[in-house]
Amino acid sequence: MARIKASVDVLTDDPEFDLRCSGMFGKSAIPGGSDPKITAEYLEGSVASAIVIIFEWSDYQNFEPHIREGKNVFDVQKGAKSIWTGTFNSSGENEHIYYVNRTGYYCAGALRSVSDSADEFGVGIDWRNPYGELPAADYPKLPFYGLLSLVYLAIGIAWMALSIAHWRDILQVQNYISGVILFLMLEMAFNWGYWENFNIYGYPSNFLLGLVAILNAGRNSISFFMLLIVCMGYGVVKPTLGSTMNRCRALGVAHFIFGVIYAAGTMLINPDTTNPLVFLVIFPLAFTMTAFYIWTLQSITNTLQTLEIRRQNVKALMYKRLYRLLLFSVTVLGIFFLINTFNYTHREDMDWIAKYWQWRWFLLDGWLNVLYLIVFKLTQDDDMDLEINILRASENLGYDQVKYRGPSENTGENERLREGNESAIFDIGDHEEGDEFTKWDDEESTARASGGGSSSSQEPPAQQR
C-alpha cells in the first residue's frame, strides 16, 4: 500500500461535513518558491457525486451547507472573497487547482451531492506550499534548525580557539564542555537534516527521527547533568562528589528516557491537531527538568555559602553570575508553562488555531531550544572567564612566592599549578589575610616546602586540601 504524503488529506462521505484545514504560505513569503496551490482530486473508485468547497478561514462565516430539492448545496454570501465550490463525479470534472494568493489558514470540505445517497466517495486534498512537502505548521523548523546549526558551529569554533590558546591551563570540566559542544553541533545538524529530508520526500524518515530524538535527549541530559555537578562544585571547588555522583547520573538517565519520548512526540504530533498526547510527552520531561532545577539551585546555594566562608572571591563571583542565570531560566520556564497552558485550553478553538498556526510550533519545540542556547552560551562564557581568572590568580600567587618564599618554592608551586594538581586549583582565591583557611594553607605549604618541593606532588589525597 502506497504511503500518503504528509501534505495530503482525504475527504470522505462524512454526514457531518468532512472539513480539513491547514496553514498555507503565499509565494511572497518564500523567496524563490513555486506557486502555492491546493489541489482537489476525485479519487478513483468513488461512486457518489461530491460537492467540494475550498476557502480561507476568514470566509468561514460566509457560507452555509443546505439541502435543496434533495441535493446538498453551499449557499455562499456575496461578501466572500476566497470561496470556491464545485461538483465532482465519475463522468465529469474530477480535479480542481485552487491557487493561494496570500498566507493564511485554508480549509477544504466535501458533501454528497445527493443527500440521501448511500454511495461513497473520496476526495484527495494536496496542500502544496512554495517550499516543498512539509506541512506549513512545521516549515518554520527548517530555517530555525539551520540557523541554530550555524550558531553552534560559530560557538564551537570560538571555543576551540580559546581552548587552544589556554590548553595548558583549562579545567577538566571544560574538557567535558568541549565534548558537549561537538555533540551540540552534530545534534543541530541532524535536526536540520531530518526536516530537510521530510521537506524533499514528503515522509518523515524513521531512522533520522530516532537518531534526532536520541541526540536531542542526550544533549539535554548531558547538559543538565554537567550543570548540576558544576553547581555542586565539582572540578572547581571539590575534586569528587562521592556517592552523590551516582544519584546525579540516575536523574540524567531518567531525563534522557523522557527526553527521547518528548523529542519523538514533538516531531510526530502535528501542532495543528488537538491531540491530548501532547501533554503525555511533556509532563514526564517537565518532572525530571523540575527536579534538575531544584537540585541545581539548592546545590549552587550551598556552594556559594562554602565559597563565602572560604573567602574565595574569584570563584564566588562566577557562581553568583551562574545563579542569576539559573533564576532567569526558571522564570522563563514558568512564563512559557503558563502560555502553553493557555494554548492547550484553546486547542479546539478554530479561530485561535487559524490566528496562531504559524507560532504554535515554537510553544512546543522552539522556545526550549532558544532558552537552552542562551543558558548554555552564558554558562560557557562564565566557565572561560573562570579559567582566565584562575590563571591570573595563579600568576599572582607565583609573584607572591618569588617575593616572600624564594625562587625554588615558586618553581615548585608553578609546576604544581601547570600540572593541574587538584589541591592547587581548589585553593585559588584564598587571598584574605587573617582568614583561618588561608593561614592553614600557608602553614601546609611551608611544611611541604621544608620537606622538599618534589615530595608535595606525591602526597596521598587525604593529606591534600
User: Does 127 score more than 80 pLDDT?
Assistant: yes
- Name the residue with higher pLDDT: 357 or 389: 357
User: Does 263 score more than 70 pLDDT?
Assistant: yes
Most confident stretch, 157-161, 235-239, 338-342 = 157-161
In the chain, where does the domain assigned CATH 1.20.1070 lie? 141-393
Q: What is the mean pLDDT of residues 254-258?
A: 88
CA dihedral 197, 203, 207, 208 (to 10 degrees): 30
pLDDT at 234 (0 to 100): 77
User: Does 417 score more than 80 pLDDT?
Assistant: no
pLDDT at 375 (0 to 100): 62
Neighbouring-strand partners of residue 232: none
Considering the segment(s) 141-393 as one domain, its CATH architecture is Up-down Bundle (1.20)
pLDDT at 39 (0 to 100): 92
Q: Quick one: pLDDT band at residue 416, thresholds 50, 70, 90? A: very low
C-beta atoms surrounding 261 within 10 Å: 16
pLDDT at 196 (0 to 100): 92
Q: Quick one: pLDDT band at residue 3, thresholds 50, 70, 90? A: low
- Name the residue with higher pLDDT: 384 or 6: 6
User: Does 391 score more than 60 pLDDT?
Assistant: no
| Tens-digit pLDDT profile for residues 72-89 | 788 888 888 889 998 888
pLDDT at 172 (0 to 100): 66
- Name the residue with higher pLDDT: 396 or 39: 39
Q: Quick one: pLDDT band at residue 288, thresholds 50, 70, 90? A: confident
| Tens-digit pLDDT profile for residues 36-63 | 999 999 888 787 888 899 999 988 888 8
Contacts of 72 (CB under 8 A, 6+ apart): 51, 65, 66, 111, 112, 113, 114, 115
pTM value is 0.68
Distance (Å, whole) CA 413 – CA 408: 9
Rounded to whole angstroms, what are the CA distances from 92 to 48, 85, 167?
Answer: 12, 15, 76
Neighbouring-strand partners of residue 87: 51
Q: Which residue has the cell 526550549?
A: 368
- Name the residue with higher pLDDT: 275 or 63: 63
Rounded to whole angstroms, what are the CA distances from 148 to 192, 193, 367, 465?
Answer: 9, 12, 12, 43
In the chain, where does the domain assigned CATH 2.60.120 lie? 8-128
User: Does 407 score more than 60 pLDDT?
Assistant: no
Q: What is the CATH number of domain 8-128?
A: 2.60.120
pLDDT at 270 (0 to 100): 58
Average pLDDT, the chain: 74
Distance (Å, whole) CA 242 – CA 389: 27
- Asked if 398 contacts 413 with a C-beta cutoff of 8 angstroms, the reply is yes
